[in-house]
Amino acid sequence: MRVGIPRALLYYQYYPAWKTFFEELGAEVVVSPPTTQAMLAEGSARVVADTCLPVKVFLGHVLSLVDKCDRIFIPAVRSVEKKVYNCSKFLGLPDMTKAVIPEAPPLLEVDIDVNEGKSRLYQSIYAMGRSINWNPFKVRQAGLAAWQAYLDYRELMSGSKLTPPEALAGMYGTAEKEPEVTRTGPARVKGTVALIGHPYLIYDEYINHRLIRRLEQSGNRIVTPEMVATPELKSAIAEITGGAYWTYEEEVVGAGGHYLQSGADGVIGIMAFGCGPDSLMMDMVRRHSVGLGSTPFMCLTLEEHTAEAGVVTRLEAFTDMIYRRKKKDRAVCV
């Protein structure tokens, strides 16, 4: 059986776990290629205009897999932490996909909701595993191996300060066709810029107009949420909001709070136009940056009509400002 995995939304967080799980069960994993203009246009054509950009991209990836696999894996991730909730788009992703892409092969669905208790969660994963391999011991073994692959992946990123595409390239080589594996960093570092936001915005080079490469080519070192250990992200959230409400708040509020206080000369928040959770979370980070008054913060909102020239202009203006601040600080110290 060939299992298709769209290279979008939660792919950057969980791909090693998913790949391990399906391969342990004897399936072949097929990943959609990096996002293209055609994929975005095809995904957008299936939904109303108000749908957020990452979901349109996701549907484009599903469409690109339609004739390349026997099943497509689309989890409904409701909650991965008790009393912390995910955006409604993730909850309805399998149903939305079936409704707007009726020609898609059957989906492999699983409900991830830790609020329902561990046994319900295990049953849900087990039921999906049994639909691929009847052997219950194999399914259990695949689940354990997937969890270990996830932990190794997180450890690799935070321990070695790697972005998800770099870590994936390190783990699986060029076979995964990661677009950003040749990141070498600038020859002379003029400043350190932290990018905060969801991985499906930060690492999709098509929708963010090659943000990381551009910043590095103009002399910046880039740091991202995955490079910060979980306890530090959680303590930053506790300081800013008192406790997480949204799943993946660590990528926005946690990383924002951390980098505003240490490790960066400037922080850029990346969000999608029309995203409810992010508009709240980014505003909290912005307010926190104003309160601290130490590290500059800029929010960059992406949508399908975002012009490359507009992104470049805003990046240049922001980085020029942080270089000037650095120079001024050095002059005061002297």
Q: Which residues here bind ligand SF4, judged by CB under 6 A?
A: 52, 54-55, 87, 89, 198, 272, 275-278
Give every CB contact of residue 20 below 8 A, 6+ residues apart in sequence: 142, 145, 146, 148, 149
- Contact indicator for 127, 162 with CB cutoff of 8 Å: no
- Quote the CA–CA distance of 83 and 322 in Å, as a whole number: 38
- 267 burial type by CB count under 10 A (0-12 exposed, 13-18 middle, 19+ buried): buried
Q: Which residue has the tokens 């689309």?
A: 74
- Contact indicator for 64, 119 with CB cutoff of 8 Å: no
- Contact indicator for 208, 179 with CB cutoff of 8 Å: no
The percent of the chain in helix, strand and coil, each rounded to the nearest 5, is 55, 15, 30
In the DSSP assignment, the letter for residue 262 is S
The four Cα atoms 170, 185, 162, 193 give a dihedral, to 10 degrees, of -160
- 200 burial type by CB count under 10 A (0-12 exposed, 13-18 middle, 19+ buried): buried
Strands ordered across the beta sheet of 28-31: 28-31, 2-5, 71-73, 107-108
